[in-house]
Amino acid sequence: MNARTLLDDLAEVLVVPSFTRMGFGLRRRLYGWPDAESYPMTGRTVVLTGPTSGLGREAAGSFARMGADLVLVGRDAGRLERTRTDLLAEVPGLSAVAVVADMASLSSVRAAADEILGRTPRIDVIVDNAGTMVPTREVTPEGFERTFATMVLGPFVLVSRLLPRLLEAPDGRLVAVTSGGMYTQALPLDDLAYEHGTYNGARAYARAKRAQVALVREWARRLRGPGVVANAMHPGWADTPGLEASLPGFANLVGGQLRTAAEGVDTMLWLAAAPEARAVSGRLLLDRRARPFDRIPSTRLSAGDRETLWREVVALTGEPDPTPRR
């Protein structure tokens, strides 16, 4: 192990320097990264959820400047169209379509997937970025706990429906944006709907993110033969409207060391575009390097647990298993 890896690992163990902009700056200097936007994506199509604010909006602008064709998926038609219009003004000649979908509604996601398949002849990258944190337990009209539906069930349906098109790509990639909060929570497989105990919005969010990462590992295992790579990435603690809304005062606590949105999306862009990232699959990354899936042993999900979660999600969504023989 060389000196730069030791420094990187030390920052990771200490958490605070790792997740802040201090960690990003340290690693950029240590490894001499090329700028994420230097990787060309001309001719490739990216499906991006949650593109109208925060990390999603930053990523949309970067993908556009990198030459990608964009499919912008969001629940607010007005904000979605404004985002598309702004991107077209920033990047003349950009191909960008807006598709409305509420990720908490499986019927809405199915309709969006049909629209995407009808309007987009190829899909090279799917970025699962949309998220929500609600303070009280809510049940959707379809009967699902809203946080779990938004960040687990909806994305699973979207990826499942778009998978045949992604498999046609010569370099298909799936990227999920997770959160460091998932390290703090176990995932009770017998209570995915959070029906027991006192509901806590931050805890529900962290549980859903842990489920998301577990499913990414399953996607990677099941798609290894067909050649699609799947990874989760942690953006660190980034200064976004979502963070301020869900965790007010956190910026003051961190002391001005929150990452910029551009620093937060760097690894997302790298995973989507860099040729060398093609060699990585089934991992959780922060700052372009694989990190531990667990920090607390009691939160660990075994391979059997991940398969159980997969089967439960298939059953809850009512979708046919997209990888039935894996």
* Domain of residue 256, CATH code: 3.40.50.720
**pLDDT greater at residue 121 or residue 11:** 121
Q: Which domain holds residue 130?
A: 33-317
pLDDT tens-digit map of 220-256: 999 988 889 999 999 998 877 665 555 566 666 666 7
For the chain, what is the mean pLDDT? 93
Does a structural domain hold residue 19? Answer: no
Does a structural domain hold residue 12? Answer: no
Across the range 180-209, mean pLDDT stands at: 94
Across the range 110-127, mean pLDDT stands at: 98
Does a structural domain hold residue 25? Answer: no
Does a structural domain hold residue 48? Answer: yes
Determine the Cα–Cα distance for residues 279 and 106; give it in Å rounded to an integer: 32
Collect contacts of 192-195 with beta carbons under 8 A, ≥24 apart.
192/145, 192/148, 192/152, 192/309, 192/312, 192/316, 193/144, 193/145, 193/148, 194/137, 194/145, 194/147, 194/148, 195/145
Ordered strands of the 45-49 beta sheet: 96-100, 69-74, 45-49, 125-128, 173-177, 229-233, 284-286, 289-291
Does a structural domain hold residue 2? Answer: no
> How confident is the model at residue 28, as a pLDDT?
92
> How confident is the model at residue 138, as a pLDDT?
96
Does a structural domain hold residue 296? Answer: yes
315 falls in which pLDDT band (50, 70, 90)? Answer: very high
Does a structural domain hold residue 309? Answer: yes
pTM score: 0.94
Determine the Cα–Cα distance for residues 161 and 107; give it in Å rounded to an integer: 12
> How confident is the model at residue 253, as a pLDDT?
64
Does a structural domain hold residue 10? Answer: no
310 falls in which pLDDT band (50, 70, 90)? Answer: very high
Across the range 160-177, mean pLDDT stands at: 97
Point out the residues that are catalytic: 205
Nearest alpha carbon to residue 209 among 312, 323, 293, 109: 293
Please state which of the ranges 4-8, 284-288, 300-304 shows the lowest mean pLDDT. Answer: 4-8
How many domains does the chain fold into?
A: 1
Above 60 in pLDDT, residue 324? Answer: yes
Measured CA distances, 209 to 114, 258, 324 (Å): 26, 20, 24
